[in-house]
Amino acid sequence: MRFLFTCVGGPGHLNPVLPISRAIAEAGHTVLWAASDPVRGLVERAGFPFHRLGPASDPAPRERGPLTPPDPEVCDWEVRELFARRGARARLPLVQPLVEHWRPDVVVCDEFDFSAALAAELRGVPHAVVRVTAAGALIRPDVVAEPLDEVRRECGLPADPDLTAPGRYLVLSPFPPSLRAPGAWRHATEHAVRLVPTAASRSARPSVYFTLGTEFGLESGDLFERVIAGLRELPADVLVTVGRHVDPAGFGPQPAHVRIERYVAQEEVLPRTDVVVSHGGSGTVMGAVAHGLPHLVLPLGADQPANAERCAALGAGLALDAVTATPEDVRAAVSRLLAEPEHRRAAERLRAELAALPGPEHAADLLVRLGRTRQPVGEPVAR
């Protein structure tokens, strides 16, 4: 069978879907990836053919900008306008011809790639949606149904005010069900799966990992400096990753127990970490969950405030205001996470919940079943 995988955006949208495409390929099926140019290298290094959607990119150098407080209304506007109304309308003419000419048996897209789901529906091809936000509070009928109905009318498709079309066949959610926000939009076809390996972390001495992910480091103002100033006063080894656009040398000399790098793969860091400090992006949250690590979250925007709220509500972490947090606040919060065992125990409960979910092979089995039957897939995993 032929499976077309797509995502919109950067690594945060690609990484949750990539293990599923690997499992499909290992099961002997044909995989084609279609996405924008910035993730091409990641896809091709994973061994998959790549179809570029949109023009080649040559990003200009960027500098860090000021930090602004997360605004739920701005976030809803971005999802509504940039992903639903404008994004779906702009990408549909790019992905629709690919679906028509390559003729996949199933289209698999990340939850923000509305154009791929629309293109599949127009062609009569079943599609599956993969969740990419941990708490799942961003995509809701009140945010995206109206703009998507505009695009649906233009395509001759019926209105979908209840947002049932994206989850008509299959939704894969690679998160512990308890991590999902109570109000997260769910479909009857939703299955919880485990797409990352789980393992306990072990460190020789207290160790802290601080990152703002791949996208938000340039919207962080002086947050790096404030957090580093707090962490370097701890009796712990500290690793900071600042992203490819930020020069580690710009932070000046650091004590021997503080190391600042542009990038280190999480799978190399987390097995030797005791506490994670981050912006709360879903990828970093899931890395911490997979290793049973308590988490200090300083959300900057997007899905991060909801992720921070869930981590704190479950006892697996603490949250600070990224705009007002002082070095002393950071040091005190991380000291608590290192010293108070209940946070580690809560994080380990999440890891156990994730470990108990069926793995990527199960996700592949569900997709193959969808391709064969072209019908909504079975009973969802119990929540």
Q: What is the DSSP string of 50-119?
A: EEE-S----PPP----------HHHHHHIIIIIIIIHHHHHHHHHHHHHHHHH--SEEEEETT-HHHHHH
pLDDT the model gives residue 383: 39
> Taking the model in full, what pTM does it have?
0.93
pLDDT the model gives residue 248: 93
Contacts of 207 (CB under 8 A, 6+ apart): 236, 237, 238, 239, 272, 273, 274, 275
Residue 113's alpha-carbon distances to 10, 204, 213, 268, 358, in angstroms, are 12, 43, 21, 30, 25
Instruction: Transcribe 276-298 into DSSP letters.
Output: EEE---HHHHHHHHHTT--EEE-
Asked: is 2-194+357-373 a CATH 3.40.50.150 domain? The reply is: no
Pairwise CA distance, residues 5 & 33, whole Å: 5
Considering the domain 207-355 in this protein, what is its CATH number?
Answer: 3.40.50.2000
- One digit per residue, the tens of pLDDT, for the chain of length 383 reads 999 999 998 999 999 999 999 999 999 999 999 999 999 999 999 999 999 998 886 555 567 778 888 899 999 999 999 999 999 999 999 999 999 999 999 999 999 999 999 999 999 999 999 999 999 999 999 999 999 999 999 999 999 999 999 999 999 999 999 999 998 888 899 999 999 999 988 878 899 999 998 776 667 789 999 999 999 999 999 999 998 888 999 999 999 999 999 999 999 999 999 999 999 999 999 999 999 999 999 999 989 999 999 999 999 999 999 999 999 999 999 999 999 999 999 999 999 999 999 999 999 999 999 999 999 997 654 43
Q: Provide φ and ψ at 259, rounded to 5°.
A: -120, 130
Please list the residue range(s) of the chain that carry CATH number 3.40.50.2000.
Answer: 2-194+357-373, 207-355
Q: Provide φ and ψ at 33, rounded to 5°.
A: -100, 135
